[in-house]
Amino acid sequence: MAATRRAEATWEGDLITGSGIVSAVSSRGFTDLPVSWAARTEEPGGKTSPEELVAAAHASCYCMALSAGLGRAGTPPKRLEVSATVTFEQVTGGFKVASSALTVRGVVPGVDDAGFRKAAEAAKDGCPISGALKGNVELSVDAALA
């Protein structure tokens, strides 16, 4: 079963002073979120960035991957709280998404700290968004039971 999702963006003006919008076309979960270069490289100022959207995708995908892994092990989570911090930095010749650092705190009956950390690492490696980033972006996870 293949699933496709679509988002659209519109940009007006040059890179530095221009701005745009991005919308989730498939779900209509968000529409016309404002984006700008300044929001990407300085303070957000109420606007989003491609990196923030990647962070949202990574955090939500990782939650699903970790929940699935814990469930397969017979210890489904009661609650997982995940944050993803995506770093966009200037490098020789331009800019790049350099890292995505996941932090997860979980309430998982029947799992000790070591088991949770092991499951968290496996989920980092098995999450499809991690797979899309792997090899180009440094990935890390800080996992602990709540």
- The predicted-structure confidence for 67-100, as pLDDT tens digits, reads as follows 999 999 999 999 999 999 999 999 999 999 999 9
Quick one: pLDDT at residue 33? Answer: 97
Q: Report the pLDDT value the prediction gives residue 83, as an integer from 0 to 100.
A: 98
- Is the separation of the CB atoms in 28 and 2 below 8 Å? no
What are the structural domains, with CATH classification, of the chain? 7-41 (no CATH), 50-145 (3.30.300.20)
The answer, yes or no, to whether residue 39 has pLDDT greater than 90, is yes
What pLDDT, on a 0 to 100 scale, did the predictor assign at position 1?
A: 80
Mean pLDDT of 109-123: 97
Q: Please state whether the predicted TM-score (pTM) of the whole model is above 0.75.
A: yes
